[in-house]
């Protein structure tokens, strides 16, 4: 397994009064306060809710305009190197050198992550490739990969360097049901040892893997708790769509009712 139990570190992320206003005046996050411990933490929310913005701040890609985030008491804005050494990050959009093979690309990322020993690097890269089911295409150029394969390669790079904190923006997006299920299993397994924070639009992803979740809506935190607590809140509420509109319109009606 790619994680070593002996190196296990308990992570506690504290988010206090966090805000992010972009230069165009868009308030992407508005006074968010929550705690995230070891395990798998899911972030749910519709398009534009602020999920990617929060994950980018946790991954130190952007800075907040207000409030503070600490990881085990260390401020993410002032002690970036300390936290980067423990971090694996999968952004929503990921760039690869398409002329390289999947194996070569991951080796390159492993070097960037400081895995200097050649043998250790080979082992880590092969483990990551096996975990995301890319073994058969490891020696094929990335230019020949499907979208889902590239997504899984992005997932694999986040695992290199044995991070204790994994931040992933929609890791299951664009995957077929079999691969989505595999990635859910990998996330659940890794979440026994490290902290994983990931965003998704799919509640079934959260149900399958997360010990805790938060829901963002228009930059505000509207729920934090366990998946079954959210399910309890919805007990007794059910909706039937009677109109004959298209499935997409029906889905939109349901979302409006749910709100």
Contact residues: ligand ATP, CB under 6 A: 22, 24, 26, 28, 45, 47-53, 92
Q: How far is the CB of 53 from ligand ATP (least distance, A)?
A: 3
Q: Which is nearer to ligand ATP, 44 or 106 (CB)?
A: 44
Q: Which is nearer to ligand ATP, 50 or 161 (CB)?
A: 50
Residue 19 bridge partners (DSSP):
66
Q: How far is CA 167 from the centre of its chain?
A: 5
Q: Which is nearer to ligand ATP, 32 or 131 (CB)?
A: 32
Q: How far is the CB of 60 from ligand ATP (least distance, A)?
A: 15
Residue 37 bridge partners (DSSP):
none
Residue 224 bridge partners (DSSP):
214
SS3 sequence, 37-95?
CCEEEEEECCCCCCHHHHHHHHCCCCCCCEEEEEECCEECCCCHHHHHCCEEEECCCCC
Q: Which is nearer to ligand ATP, 49 or 183 (CB)?
A: 49
Question: 212 phi and psi, to 5 degrees?
Answer: -150, 155
Do 13 and 195 form a contact (C-beta atoms < 8 A)?
yes
Q: How far is the CB of 254 from ligand ATP (least distance, A)?
A: 18
Q: How far is the CB of 52 from ligand ATP (least distance, A)?
A: 3
Q: Which secondary structure element, helix H or strand E, spans residue 22, and what is its range?
A: none
Q: Which is nearer to ligand ATP, 21 or 141 (CB)?
A: 21
Q: Which is nearer to ligand ATP, 32 or 153 (CB)?
A: 32
Q: How far is the CB of 129 from ligand ATP (least distance, A)?
A: 27
Do 31 and 67 form a contact (C-beta atoms < 8 A)?
yes
Question: 150 phi and psi, to 5 degrees?
Answer: -65, -40
Q: Which is nearer to ligand ATP, 131 or 158 (CB)?
A: 158
DSSP labels, 185-202: HHHHHHTTTSEEEEEES-
Q: How far is the CB of 77 from ligand ATP (least distance, A)?
A: 18
- Separation of alpha carbons 50 and 168, rounded Å: 14
Q: How far is the CB of 41 from ligand ATP (least distance, A)?
A: 15
- For 3, which DSSP code? S
């Amino acid at each position: 397994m790619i994680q070593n139990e002996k190196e296990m570190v308990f992570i506690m992320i504290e988010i206090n009064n966090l805000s992010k206003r972009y230069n165009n005046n868009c308030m992407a996050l508005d006074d968010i306060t929550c705690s995230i411990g070891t395990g798998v933490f899911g972030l749910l929310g519709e398009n534009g809710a602020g999920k990617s913005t929060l994950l980018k701040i946790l991954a130190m890609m952007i800075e907040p305009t207000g409030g503070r985030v600490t990881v085990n008491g260390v401020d993410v804005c002032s002690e970036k190197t300390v936290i980067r050494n423990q971090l694996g990050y999968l952004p929503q959009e990921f760039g690869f050198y398409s002329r390289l093979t999947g194996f070569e690309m991951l080796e390159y990322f492993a070097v960037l992550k400081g895995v200097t020993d050649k043998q250790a690097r080979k082992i880590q890269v092969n483990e990551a490739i096996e975990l995301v089911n890319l073994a058969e295409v490891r020696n094929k150029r990335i230019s020949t990969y499907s979208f889902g394969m590239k997504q899984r390669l992005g997932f694999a790079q986040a695992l290199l360097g044995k991070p204790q904190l994994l931040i992933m923006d929609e890791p299951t997006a664009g995957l077929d049901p079999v691969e989505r299920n595999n990635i859910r299993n990998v996330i659940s397994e890794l979440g026994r040892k490290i902290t994983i924070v990931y965003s998704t639009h799919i509640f079934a992803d959260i149900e399958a893997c997360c010990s805790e979740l938060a829901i963002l809506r228009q930059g505000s935190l509207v729920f934090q708790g366990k998946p079954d607590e959210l399910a309890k809140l919805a007990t007794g509420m059910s909706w039937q769509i009677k109109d004959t509109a298209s499935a997409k319109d029906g889905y939109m009606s349901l979302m409006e009712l749910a709100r």
